[in-house]
A and B are shown apart, each in its own frame.
Chain A
Amino acid sequence: GAVVSQHPSWVICKSGTSVKIECRSLDFQATTMFWYRQFPKQSLMLMATSNEGSKATYEQGVEKDKFLINHASLTLSTLTVTSAHPEDSSFYICSAEGGTSGVKQFFGPGTRLTVL
């Protein structure tokens, strides 16, 4: 299957700082990328959908000014958590779809964010 990478795999930061997470589709061009969040013992929740070159679409209840998404190319999307607080600590996972992946979404390995 297609490969999606995320960087970093884990990050610890102080409250009030910003953190950027990268998501890359390594062997296909992703017309659409998705960002999910997963709290402990819960299922994945879709945060936002981004298409290359256009603004992201956020799910209800997700603050677009806090979670900045940039999808500048067909292989890269970034999620920036601005002014992070302890309640933002979570497992952030991206997925990508398009091109040779067809209608299947392929997921990255996830990024564990801990805000102190």
Chain B
Amino acid sequence: DAKTTQPPSMDCAEGRAANLPCNHSTISGNEYVYWYRQIHSQGPQYIIHGLKNNETNEMASLIITEDRKSSTLILPHATLRDTAVYYCIVRASGGGADGLTFGKGTHLIIQP
């Protein structure tokens, strides 16, 4: 699976949009971009995933550049409960028997 690069930490004010970047310049054509987050001492939570089109769900939006070498996760109105480590992961299509390779992620801190 392709490697991802994320900033180690970010701050965001409560109520503002949090934009978390991820670089995945070696992504292959059949690899999806997944985002998970982990709140302290809990299991990771699935947020969103996409291939090349932008995606939106009740939690977040995912913007993938046209060349697919980078993406941005957007939390539109951040709350204190969004403080967590956010992981950007690329994975071959279909999932199948592949576990997820977690990098160091971005520690997002929402400030009151």
Set of chain A residues within 8 Å of B44, measured between Cβ atoms:
44, 93, 95, 107
Q: How far is the CA of A59 from the CA of B36 in the complex (A)?
A: 22
- Contacts of B49 on A, CB cut-off 8 Å? 103-104
Closest CB in chain A relative to B41 CB, distance in Å: 7
Give the residue name and chain of the B residue nearest to A97 (CB). Answer: B95
Smallest Cβ distance from A106 to chain B, in angstroms? 6
Main secondary structure of the interface of A (DSSP, over half): strand
Closest to A45 in B: B102
Q: Tell me whether A32 and B96 are in contact in the complex, defined as CB-CB below 8 angstroms, given that A43-B105, A44-B102, A104-B49 are known contacts.
A: yes
Do A93 and B101 contact each other (CB < 8 Å), given the known contacts A103-B94, A104-B49?
A: no
Is there an interface contact between B105 and A107, defined as CB atoms closer than 8 Å?
no
Whether A43 lies near B99 (C-beta < 8 A) is no
Q: Which of A51, A102, A103 has the most CB of B within 10 A?
A: A103
Count how many pairs of residues, one from A and one from B, have CB atoms less than 8 Å apart in the complex: 63
A109 interfacial contact with B, CB 8 Å: yes
A36 within 8 A of partner (CB): yes
> Chain B residues near A1 (CB, 8 Å)?
46
Query: Are the C-beta atoms of B102 and A43 separated by less than 8 Å?
Result: yes
Cβ of A36 and Cβ of B99 under 8 Å apart? yes
* New A-B contacts (20) at CB < 8 Å, excluding given A6-B43, A109-B43: A4-B43, A32-B95, A34-B100, A43-B105, A45-B102, A46-B100, A49-B97, A51-B97, A57-B97, A93-B43, A93-B44, A95-B100, A103-B32, A104-B95, A105-B95, A107-B36, A108-B43, A110-B41, A110-B43, A112-B41
Instruction: Write the residues of chain B forming the contact surface with A, with a CB cutoff of 8 angstroms.
Output: 32, 34, 36, 38, 41-46, 49, 87, 93-105
Closest 9 pairs (CB-CB, A-B): A107-B43, A103-B95, A46-B99, A43-B102, A44-B102, A107-B44, A34-B99, A110-B43, A93-B43
**A residues neighboring B (CB under 8 Å):** 1, 4, 6, 32, 34, 36, 43-46, 49, 51, 57, 59, 91, 93, 95, 97, 102-110, 112
